Structure 1
Amino acid sequence: MDSAELDPFQKKVSAALVQVTRTVAQLSSEDLGFHRTSSSEFTESLDEQSERILALTSAVLKAATAGTDVDAPSLDTEESLEDNWRGVVDVIDSLLEKADACLDEFTGVIKKLSPSQEEQAPVARKAPKFPTTYDYGPSKIPKPQLLFDHKPDNSDLGPFHPLLETKPHASVPLEKSLTQRQIGGVTAYPHPYETEIRNAQYPKSVYQTASPINFLSFEGTTATFVDTLDGVKKMLEELKQAKEIAIDLEHHDVHSYHGLVSLMQISTRNKDWVVDTLKPWREELQMLNEVFADPKILKVLHGSTMDIIWLQRDLGLYVVGMFDTFHAASALGYPKRSLKFLLKKFVDFEADKRYQMADWRVRPLPSGMFDYARSDTHYLLYIYDCMRNALIEASTPEESLIDYVQDRSKNEALQRYERPVYDAEKGQGAGGWYDLLSRNPGGALSKEQFAVFKAIHQWRDEVARAADEGWQCVFPKHMLFKLAQVMPLDMGTLLRTLSPMTPLTKDRAGDLLNTIKKAAAAGATGPEWRDIAPPPKTLPVAVDMEDVDFPIAERYETSQFWGDVLQLQEPSAPASYSAVASLEALRLSLPLPPMPTTVSQAREKLAVTANAQSSPAPKAAPAPAPVPEEPKYFTVKDLGGPRKRKVAPVDTRDEEASTPDILAGPSDESEMTAKQRKKLRKEKKKAKKTAQSASQFEAEPFDYNTADSVLKAAPTAAPSAQQRKKPFNPYVKALDAPSGARKQQRNDAGKSMTFRE
């Protein structure tokens, strides 16, 4: 298929995949469980389609693995897809690797083998794997650390002893440098090159502006893969002749507890080297200290924080006279400080980041990974030249940016490697549980869950140390929190919680289950996470509250809403403290007339008002003591009114007298026609309304002081039958239902019942 036919086919396939992806996302967002329970037909159809998709997927996987050494996983049920997901990922990775190899052949990066060579060639080795979450199973590459002359000992928790056997360019002898002393309250070995690093100064050429030396073309530069001791010695002789060298490392930390330096890249102005650091004689690379510790040779690195640690731990190498371009970018205020940004800015080179997370233990090294490794140092010396000139131009007589970079680079080079010691009780250390809980929401963990979290975290660390694997190969961090929250107490729940389960955990599932049970039982009386959690951050400076001028709220003497309508008056008699406080609170909220504070005051006020309305009368003699009366008997029938009240006749003579003679015609209605009588009645009603409205405006203002008490008001007459209106019921037509129980007959007036008073 040529390119003309490939493009339409690719667009058609992409469009179909996009549509399928959208449909699947739509279906997954629906409540399929609810629809399953609501329709048996839908359930059968869904199961049928699920089996069909699983069958198609299995067929595709078998077709993709035909003729290869990759086994296609068997997908019989939906659960098997989750259990065998790692196998599915392996198939996809193999397809991507084939596509990558075909593209390399198409572009000419790899020369296609002749037919005779293809027939005689053995089975091609698998291309490098890219670690993902599902690649944390058993290592598919034999562990190189098993062949080291000095195998890593993960159980050693003592101070790290430097690997140095000799100390080139020393101002302090090696024996004196390797004497233990107290450092930060802990007995440890000092940095062997501490004195040399502090006293080192950049060569004078670093402080002088010069035109950047152009780098050689990537294809035209000699690149050498060094995997023998003779090759290391030959490279060392050439490095001694250089004035500046660029250094970088590639590290692997998945299938090793402490990690492994897998490659070391070194470049000069005209040559690149890639050194294999996984050889059994890797500690013999200490001979490179003749260049690395030479202060006259400038070592250019980028982001050297971890590189310095790894060089000490694995190779026994130390760097004196380092220039870190990361700190140079910080001094110049660049928006980004990554090596990728510097390569794009100064060289216009895009690094191929496909191999950034590759497994650098693979041997022999593929050409793509080899080129990616050497690109990190091939252009670094040219970038150093450009940044050096920029630092000199941006410096001032008071502040030298070159010195700033030198100080920061010295601090990086003075780092010491210390073994991570696991503290199970307090959780401190590089891989402890304390830091993990502090950076993740662990406040919701109960006592039992917190105890389980600590126990399985320690269990995971012990398993990783014993197997020399990264802790993520036991189970990842999110599974750690999931186990602590679920606290499985049986094997079935444990397997479901950790699905998919890594081989390391599967082989030790019984031990893990016992650990969880013991921790959950012991955690019932243990502490909670909040008891030892870090305290919340406080203000750095204490504030004296007496020195703070708080705003004072001003109050209005009169209401902003009522105005001067209701003026306040002082109470005539002093009240108690509580009464005064209540009055003051009421006055501040809303101005109101003075009100009595007690019932007795209210009664006295009502008595004074009644006396003021009546004329003065002589004081009456005290009434004799009341004599108890005999009980009276009464009949309800006599006191009850009729069932229907009669409407009292309305006297309209006064109204008729007040109505003006506005009609000219017969005075007797019997002599009027029907039309005249109707018109007369309308005019009378109109005149009556006019008179009522006029009387309202002409009446005197109502005096509340002389009005009768509301407490002793006479009961108002009940409204007549005509005045009472049945409330509107909007649902009267909708109540189409059988009638309920019969209403209980009430006792109306007229029934005779006798009571004792």
Structure 2
Amino acid sequence: MADYQVIDTPDGLAAAAGSIASGAGPVAVDAERASGFRYSQRAYLIQVYRRGAGTFLFDPPPIGDFAPLQDAIGDEEWILHAASQDLACLREVGLDPVRIFDTELGARLLGRPKVGLAAVVEDLLGITLAKEHSAADWSTRPIPQSWLQYAALDVEHLVDVRERMGDELDAADKRAIAEEEFRAVLEREAKPAPAEPWRRLSGIHGVRGQRALAIARALWTARDEYARETDIAPGRLVPDAAIVAVAKSLPESKRALAELRTFTGRASRTEIDRWWAAIEEGRTTQDLPAVRVPADTLPPVRAWSSRNPEADARLKPARRALTEVAESMGMPVENLLTPDYLRRVAWSPPEPATAVSIASALADLGARPWQVDATAQRIADAFVEAAQADDVGVTTGS
């Protein structure tokens, strides 16, 4: 297997961009991050392959600006696998496609049982890819040659996969559907940051009382600031479970905190002054957090029968109907329609709940036109079925 060299200078990028521009056809692109190791979600390796040009591996931090590569391939179709995972870090360095082909999403639309890159490559091309470096710390320098070989293979087969998958989409009459989905991935806006991100601490629901919550908030904030400063993943410094354990036990002194066995993590003792200062802030602040905050979320479906029995009665036949549609189209039901969209129209349907009004509600939620066309009438019919069953039940009961 060939050795790969990493391009890590602006001059090297410019030369590579010229070579890639002289290639032909779509461009396969991938990025490797260091999730779980670093605070940032930046790319630590970017891989590019194009027929007639070859494979190129770039080290983003020392290069910085990828404008020459964007100029070379910006108007071409980019092939990515699970594009939504990589677009943000690519855009961060100035790489932003105008057209994509997402091989993971295509595999889902074709109803493949396994949609990971290795499974798709093996299924379509009969080539087995190694998986041993998928969770590696890609901020490691120098990057081991075995990792580079793994990373290169992530793009070197994508053009062939795209061709085979495109033929299958055409044969299944799903090309237009796939193009709608690809555009939706490109145009999807990033979710706004939560107002109180500390409430996402795993296990925070078990913390009782405003003062304990204030301590959890202060510890989360101190950890986040230190993680950002050191570019280390927060959970590697102090796990969520350790913060929650402190908020529950409320140690009375720095020594008690140091002796708390459940307060773990690589920085739990080396930064003990930092954490104790955060605890004292939480113990004395007058800005106490609310115990509960309103959220734009629906109750869990298991609670619907008691909380909103009419909605429960609508949801069950609608789910069955969409399962039938998904099976007939050969794709997972969650790709046919985002489950939350169905739950929302079932919980609070438009009045009157016709196919037209439900179509409008689904579109407002973000459903693509093909999804609306495939589901709105079936949902409306299911709601009618639920209403008729309720009427029969009322009549029988009377």
1:136-155 correspondence runs (5 A): none
Matched, 1:307 2:86: yes
Cα separation, partners in 2 of 1:486 and 1:287, compared to 1, 3 Å? same
Partner of 1:263: 45
Cα separation, partners in 2 of 1:496 and 1:335, compared to 1, 3 Å? same
8 A contact 1:251–1:259 mirrored in 2 = yes
Cα separation, partners in 2 of 1:478 and 1:501, compared to 1, 3 Å? closer
**1:273-332 CA distance string (max 9 Å, x none):** 2122231x321x2111123321xx32111101121100112x111111211112211221
Partner of 1:349: 127
Matched, 1:325 2:87: no
> Structure 1: which amino acid aligns with 2:117?
L
Between Structure 1 and Structure 2, how many residues are aligned? 313
SS state of the match for residue 222, structure 2?
A: helix
Cα separation, partners in 2 of 1:389 and 1:546, compared to 1, 3 Å? closer
Higher relative contact order (CA 8 A, sep 6+): 2
8 A contact 2:3–2:145 mirrored in 1 = no
Cα separation, partners in 2 of 1:244 and 1:509, compared to 1, 3 Å? same
Query: Deviation at 1:450?
Result: 2.1
1:403 corresponds, among 176, 191, 204, to 176
Query: Deviation at 1:506?
Result: 3.2
> Structure 1: which amino acid aligns with 2:199?
Y
Partner of 2:58: 275
Q: Distance in 2 between matches of 1:287 and 1:237?
A: 8
Query: Deviation at 1:367?
Result: 1.9
Partner of 1:483: 246
Matched, 1:249 2:37: no
Q: Distance in 1 between matches of 2:26 and 2:253?
A: 62
8 A contact 1:304–1:324 mirrored in 2 = yes
Cα separation, partners in 2 of 1:387 and 1:535, compared to 1, 3 Å? closer
Cα separation, partners in 2 of 1:334 and 1:449, compared to 1, 3 Å? same
Cα separation, partners in 2 of 1:233 and 1:549, compared to 1, 3 Å? same
Q: Distance in 2 between matches of 1:378 and 1:339?
A: 12
Partner of 1:549: 394
1:433 corresponds, among 198, 201, 204, to 198
> Structure 1: which amino acid aligns with 2:269?
K
Rg bigger for which structure? Answer: 1
> Structure 1: which amino acid aligns with 2:74?
A
8 A contact 2:44–2:138 mirrored in 1 = yes
Query: Deviation at 1:222?
Result: 8.7
Partner of 1:398: none
Question: Percent identity, aligned pairs only?
Answer: 21
Query: Deviation at 1:415?
Result: 4.3
1:123-272 correspondence runs (5 A): 219=1, 224-241=5-22, 242-254=24-36, 256-269=38-51, 271-272=54-55
Cα RMSD for the two superposed structures = 3.2
8 A contact 2:223–2:234 mirrored in 1 = yes
1:640-659 correspondence runs (5 A): none
Matched, 1:529 2:291: yes
8 A contact 1:224–1:272 mirrored in 2 = no
Q: Distance in 1 between matches of 2:395 and 2:217?
A: 48
Partner of 1:467: 230
Query: Deviation at 1:513?
Result: 2.0
Q: Which has the higher helix share?
A: 2
Matched, 1:446 2:209: yes
**1:150-187 CA distance string (max 9 Å, x none):** xxxxxxxxxxxxxxxxxxxxxxxxxxxxxxxxxxxxxx
**1:699-748 CA distance string (max 9 Å, x none):** xxxxxxxxxxxxxxxxxxxxxxxxxxxxxxxxxxxxxxxxxxxxxxxxxx
Query: Deviation at 1:253?
Result: 3.8
Q: Distance in 2 between matches of 1:258 and 1:341?
A: 29
Partner of 1:334: 112
Q: Distance in 2 between matches of 1:268 and 1:471?
A: 37
1:65-80 correspondence runs (5 A): none
Q: Distance in 1 between matches of 2:140 and 2:221?
A: 31
> Structure 2: which amino acid aligns with 1:266?
V
Q: Distance in 2 between matches of 1:505 and 1:487?
A: 16
8 A contact 1:442–1:529 mirrored in 2 = no
Cα separation, partners in 2 of 1:510 and 1:224, compared to 1, 3 Å? closer
2:148 corresponds, among 364, 370, 374, to 370
Partner of 1:566: none
> Structure 2: which amino acid aligns with 1:261?
A
Q: What TM-score do you get using the length of structure 2 for normalisation?
A: 0.69
Query: Deviation at 1:358?
Result: 1.5
